[in-house]
Amino acid sequence: MSKPTSHQPIILPRDQHPISRKQIDEETLKVLYRLHRNGQLAYLVGGSVRDLLLGRKPKDFDIGTDATPAQVRRLFRNCFLVGKRFRLAHIRFAGNKLIEVATFRRHPREDELPEDHDEHFHFVQNVFGSPREDAFRRDFTINALFYNIADFSIVDHVGGLQDLREKKLRVIGDPLIRFSEDPVRMLRALEFAARLDFSLDETILAAIEAKKTLIATAAPARIREEIMELYRHKVAGPVLKQCRELGMLPHLLAGYPGTDESIALISKIDQRTASGVPIEEGFAIAALYLRLFMDSCPPSPDLHITEVLHKANEIIFPHCRYFSIAHGIRHQARELLVGCFRLARGRGTRGERRFLQHPLTPKSLELFKLWSEVRPELLPLVKEWQKAIQTSPAEKQETRRRPRRRRRKPSTRLPTH
């Protein structure tokens, strides 16, 4: 098949691809049809087309159209526009379900960009364009395929169909330029290759080598979200390992270079997520820093817990400040680290009963158990603690006494009224 280098896309008619309307969410279809009936272009775009072609279940269905956000709002009663800078139409359905409709956009010309460089990222996303221009502003060829509701065809402006067949992740345009424009794309490249088991085009790795330090200039909130995506997609271990090997990790994580063992632990967490346990951010942060924390607090009966708390705080604080992690999540990460310290110290120390009844102790033990898979010498401790936790509630009941009622003294206070 020829590459779509001319100004014509490759169009794959319905009988030459496997996507059936049965696989598309019902409400998404309604929105696509209504746009189409009103004379607008209406495409399924982005990750959903990629996933359907790969026989995977899409996470969500995004719609692209040539209708402006205001036109979309006029067509749908249940529609509201969101985003001050990035105008999107959200169409709401029963059960709080949202369908996102975005107007096709294009890359602005150099002379159209605002003078303030910080404004570029948002501005770049906001200039309306043609479907072809919209395909070219996307990150990877496999993420730029369209499904056209008018004739149920696939529209490929960028060569994504061929790359899908060859299981190749390819950046649209020159990776050096596209990574400089938006450094988060480097992380996304590693993420998609790992998630889909695709090979990375060599130019991508070379461009990451060249541009890795730029990741530190990306908005921390976006990095934080992409890192959590890695965990949710069960590829945090391999991707962070690659970031470490490429020397990108310290630029990604506010100066923290990571350790081989923490990355091995994160791979264990990926397996746990794959078995159906949802990932929590506090757990993810604790895992990232567990090895460093354990080195700074070797298990000793003499170390006072306030000192241990202090160390845990010190270690995760730069991360939490950089990524503006909420207090509750930071607290959980810290408690998990302190819990692992207590578990590593072994049984029979002060405060053990209270520790066994602490609501976060089972989770600390879960983390510690995964850690013991990296450090097998800890396995016997895990067994001991598992037994202790299992028997702990029974002990609690046996020893719990009814609080004695104090006999009220006759009140000496004067009535207030």
Structure tokens at 416: 């207030």
Nearer to Mg ion, 47 or 339 (CB): 47
Minimum distance between the CB of residue 46 and ligand ATP, rounded to whole angstroms?
Answer: 3
Can you tell me the distance from the alpha carbon of 298 to that of 357, in angstroms, rounded to the nearest whole number? 24
Catalytic entry in 66, 139, 156, 201 = 139
Q: Which does 168 bind (CB under 5 to 8 A by kind): Mg ion, ligand ATP, none?
A: none
The reply to whether 144 sits near ligand ATP by the rule CB under 6 A is: yes
Q: Which does 131 bind (CB under 5 to 8 A by kind): Mg ion, ligand ATP, none?
A: none
Unique residue bearing structure tokens 């998630």: 195
Catalytic entry in 51, 62, 134, 163 = 62
Contact of 172 with 133, CB cutoff 8 Å: no
Would you list the DSSP string of 54-101? TT---S--EEEESS-HHHHHHH-TTEEEE-SSS-EEEEEETTTEEEEE
Pairing of strands 105-106, 97-103: unpaired
Contact of 129 with 37, CB cutoff 8 Å: no
- Tell me, by CB under 6 A, how many residues bind ligand ATP: 10
Distances, alpha carbon 9 to alpha carbons 47, 135, 152, in Å: 19, 10, 15
Q: Which helix (H) or strand (E) holds 199?
A: strand 199-200
Minimum distance between the CB of residue 109 and ligand ATP, rounded to whole angstroms?
Answer: 18
Nearer to ligand ATP, 121 or 352 (CB): 121
Can you tell me the distance from the alpha carbon of 147 to that of 63, in angstroms, rounded to the nearest whole number? 9
Nearer to ligand ATP, 185 or 369 (CB): 185
Question: 130 Cβ partners below 8 Å, 6+ apart?
Answer: 66, 104, 106
Nearer to Mg ion, 47 or 237 (CB): 47
Whose CA is closest to 284, among 299, 266, 268, 298?
Answer: 266
Applying the rule CB under 5 A, the residues between 41 and 100 that interact with Mg ion are: 47
The reply to whether 175 sits near Mg ion by the rule CB under 5 A is: no
Angle between helices 379-399 and 327-345 (to 10 degrees): 100
62 in catalytic set: yes
Whose CA is closest to 224, among 210, 209, 212, 236?
Answer: 236
Nearer to ligand ATP, 168 or 185 (CB): 185
151 in catalytic set: no
295 in catalytic set: no
Contact of 179 with 211, CB cutoff 8 Å: yes
Q: What are phi and psi of 106, to 5 degrees?
A: -135, 165
Rg (CA), the chain: 27
Per CB under 6 A, which region of 138-146, 155-163, 273-281, 359-367 contacts ligand ATP?
138-146
Residue span 154-193 as binding mask against ligand ATP, x where in contact by CB under 6 A, dash where not: ----------------------------x-xx--------
Q: Say how far residue 164 (Cα) sits from the centre of its chain.
A: 23
The reply to whether 122 sits near ligand ATP by the rule CB under 6 A is: no
Per CB under 5 A, which region of 39-47, 81-89, 104-112, 248-256 contacts Mg ion?
39-47
Residue span 19-58 as binding mask against ligand ATP, x where in contact by CB under 6 A, dash where not: ---------------------------xx-----------
Q: Which listed residue (40, 66, 76, 139) binds ligand ATP by CB under 6 A?
A: 139
The reply to whether 133 sits near ligand ATP by the rule CB under 6 A is: no
Nearer to Mg ion, 98 or 206 (CB): 98
Q: Which does 185 bind (CB under 5 to 8 A by kind): ligand ATP, Mg ion, none?
A: ligand ATP
The reply to whether 65 sits near ligand ATP by the rule CB under 6 A is: no
Q: Return the active site residues.
A: 60, 62, 139
Binding site for ligand ATP (CB under 6 A): 46-47, 59, 138-139, 143-144, 182, 184-185
